[in-house]
Amino acid sequence: VKRRTHRQKKFFAVLLLVAFFCLPLGLDTTSAVGAEPAFASKVPVLCYHHLVDDVGHRWEHNNSVVTIAEFATQMAYLEREGYYPLTIDEFSGFLGGKKKLPAKSVLITFDDGYASNYWYAYPILARHKMKAVIFVLGSRIRPDAAPVVASLATEQDANGSAATEAQVALVDETATLEPDFSGPFAGLLPPPGYDNLVLDFMTWGQLDELAKSGLITLADHTWAAHSQRDGYLSAYEKMSKAGIVADRQLLRDEFQRRHIPLANAFAYPHGYHAKAARESVAASGVRLAFTLKRACAAPGTDPLRVPRLVVSPGLNEESFAQLLQGF
Ligand SMILES: [Zn+2]
């Protein structure tokens, strides 16, 4: 009897020891037993490009063009699941180990700066209280277009039909069309003359508006070093350090000249980031640069090689949820 008691004591002592070592570990990462972690250990960085309003479009076999409906569904999912949309500063702090983030955090990014981002992504992001970073191709940014009224009037004249009073009223209204964040389809109406089957880029005025919205941060996707021509794969990577530094500076100067804020963050063209290119980008003062390596980012991730998850078309809810885990 005495021996058994001794064994029981020993058993409880071991149990206490195990509890002593395990509980603090558990409490460190969970808010309560069985609950989800309180803080993020890794963060998905989503990468979108152009959005189209229909299936069967000419980018059907492009792995990075998703439909507006898919994008809207994904943003609704993020909101419903309680995802916290990061700013680039919060994300940067997290990578450096200086900032704790909610367990479900996400950084949403777009590459190239397509007009579809303004007409479709922006109102959808706003509706679901999401934020995004848009990496723009500086040299492709369009000058502010002539007033829509003028172009429509010309078109009507060309068709030989005089604009009725009602048409004029409609045109006047669309001339000042801004994304409307109320109603089920609001903000999803393309402006007159805009065709998302034509790959169009945003104007300086649209970028200015996005930057002022508080939802969108603009960042660097090169001024004029994105082209795939001439066996592009190596074109950017073979650019001289001086060339890369000058290209960064040109983009910054153009934004500064227009008083449009530009974040000190860079997305490598097509994700290519050979060592020399990384060093040149760093030499130009960039402290945060994004690749297309498929993984989540975590504290300690090289800030000049931040992985991103390209959102490809045709994801169902389950596969989108997996993508958010880095798969
Ligand atoms: Zn690009």
Q: Which residues contact 52 (CB under 8 A, 6 or more apart)?
A: 59, 65, 66, 67, 68, 116, 196, 197
pLDDT at 195: 78
Block residue for tokens 């980018």: 59
Block residue for tokens 């999912």: 77
Q: What does each of the 327 residues of the chain score in pLDDT, given as a tens digit?
A: 455 566 666 666 665 655 555 444 434 444 445 667 899 999 999 999 999 987 667 777 788 899 999 999 999 999 999 999 999 999 999 999 999 999 999 999 999 999 999 999 999 999 999 999 999 999 999 998 644 433 333 333 333 333 323 333 233 333 333 444 444 444 556 666 777 777 889 999 999 999 999 999 999 999 988 875 555 444 677 788 999 999 999 999 999 999 999 999 999 988 888 888 899 999 999 999 999 999 999 999 999 999 999 999 999 999 999 999 999
Tell which residue, 193, 64, 201, has the closest CA to residue 140.
Answer: 201
Outline where the chain has alpha helix (H). 2-29, 68-80, 88-95, 115-116, 122-127, 148-158, 165-175, 204-213, 232-235, 241-257, 275-283, 317-324
Tell which residue, 123, 30, 42, has the closest CA to residue 325.
Answer: 42
Distance 22 CA to ligand 1 centre (A): 47
Distance 266 CA to ligand 1 centre (A): 11
Distance 321 CA to ligand 1 centre (A): 24
Distance 166 CA to ligand 1 centre (A): 42
Distance 113 CA to ligand 1 centre (A): 9
Distance 137 CA to ligand 1 centre (A): 8
pLDDT at 225: 85
Distance 311 CA to ligand 1 centre (A): 14
Distance 221 CA to ligand 1 centre (A): 7
CB 312 within 8 A of CB 64: yes
Distance 45 CA to ligand 1 centre (A): 15
CB 87 within 8 A of CB 102: no
Phi, psi of 105 (to 5 degrees): -115, 150
pLDDT at 157: 30
Distance 85 CA to ligand 1 centre (A): 22
Sign of the four-CA dihedral 174, 178, 180, 185: positive
Distance 25 CA to ligand 1 centre (A): 42
CB 187 within 8 A of CB 124: yes
- pTM score, whole prediction: 0.77
pLDDT at 159: 31
pLDDT at 134: 98
Distance 147 CA to ligand 1 centre (A): 29
